[in-house]
Amino acid sequence: MKDIIRHKSLISADVEMLLNQQVKKEAHSSSIYLSMASWCDRNGFDNSADYFFKQAEEERAHQLKFFKYILDMGGNATSPEVMNIKGEYNSFREVFEEALEQEINITQSIKNIAARCHKEQDYITVEFLNWFFKEQREEEYKARRALELFDVIGEEGTGRWQIDKHVGRISYTSED
């Protein structure tokens, strides 16, 4: 299909730029979660390491979904460079606090893209973003529930072990 030339993108240059920024943010999130998985593994929190490995895979899938959408719409998707990934954390709790913060930041970023799309009446991209809003609802829920374990169980004695044991069991069921 090399003979097919794309004559016009179905997304504006501004939306394309925002979507490419989101590709980078998703790649960055994936790398952050890999770093968190590594930290958890090194510190004996095997279930949490598995949890963050799965989160890293999901973020990578999100990155590719945005990347492919840009291409499908006739845009120019760019492969991001990921730098400045934190490798050390002060505590087990800090890992989960930063994970929740990361999910909130991603949700806000997607909301900003949607706001721009509404302004431009780019309802095709808004419809594409709706999947991510549902996904982010789940991601934030799971991150909050994981962090709540620290308050419910506590970290004293076998608390961290219990938290690690329960992290992998967190699930989200949607009403829709």
For the chain, domain boundaries: 13-167
Say whether pLDDT at 1 is over 50: no
**Long-range contact list for 155-161, CB < 8 A, 24+ apart?**
155/92, 155/93, 160/45, 160/92
Structure tokens that stand for 51 in this block = 């949890």
Residue 32, pLDDT score: 98
Residues 6 or more apart in contact with residue 37 via CB below 8 angstroms: 48, 49, 50, 51, 52, 53, 56
Nearest 5°: the CA angle 15, 110, 150 is: 160
Q: Tell me the whole-structure pTM to 2 decimals.
A: 0.91
Q: What is the dihedral of CA 50, 156, 143, 26, to 10 degrees?
A: -60
What confidence tens digit (pLDDT) does each residue in 111-152 have?
Answer: 999 999 999 999 999 999 999 999 999 999 999 999 999 999
Residue 168, pLDDT score: 86
State the first-to-last Cα distance of the chain, in angstroms, to the nearest integer.
39
Residues 6 or more apart in contact with residue 166 via CB below 8 angstroms: 149, 153
Residue 4, pLDDT score: 54
The CATH number of the domain covering residues in 13-167: 1.20.1260.10
Say whether pLDDT at 37 is over 70: yes
